[in-house]
């Protein structure tokens, strides 16, 4: 697939995640026409690294170094780039859909 300019930037920012979060590594990922699928590996995982959406709390606190903070930072960086480069109508889908993958020993 040929990525658009925004798609190329989304890919570049995703690849940069480990440089901003030392406990994170990336595995496979793919940029789709209107979203992204990716595997983010969080080293030294603890219960605080995962923060599921709770519909009752609309002012949810983001825990530093959690999956939520990683995704939030990534989406913010791409959105900021888009708005500063003539793609002001760019918007993300609300939230994200985490799936835990356990490593087999």
Render pLDDT for 38-70 as a digit per residue (tens, 0 to 9): 999 988 765 554 555 555 555 566 777 888 889
d(CA 23, CA 84): 29
Render pLDDT for 4-35 as a digit per residue (tens, 0 to 9): 999 999 999 999 999 999 889 999 999 998 88
**In the beta sheet, which residues pair with residue 62?**
none
- Domain positions in the chain: 5-43+50-84
d(CA 103, CA 105): 6
């Amino acid at each position: 697939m040929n990525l658009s300019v925004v798609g190329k930037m989304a890919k570049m920012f995703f690849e940069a995640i480990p440089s901003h979060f030392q406990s994170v590594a990336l595995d496979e990922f793919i940029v789709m026409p209107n979203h992204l699928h990716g595997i983010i590996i969080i080293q030294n995982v603890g219960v605080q690294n995962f923060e599921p959406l709770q519909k009752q709390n609309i002012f949810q606190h983001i825990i530093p170094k959690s999956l939520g903070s990683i995704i939030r930072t990534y989406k913010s960086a791409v959105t900021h780039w888009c708005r500063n480069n003539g793609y002001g109508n760019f918007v993300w889908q609300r939230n994200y859909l985490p799936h835990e993958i356990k490593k087999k020993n």
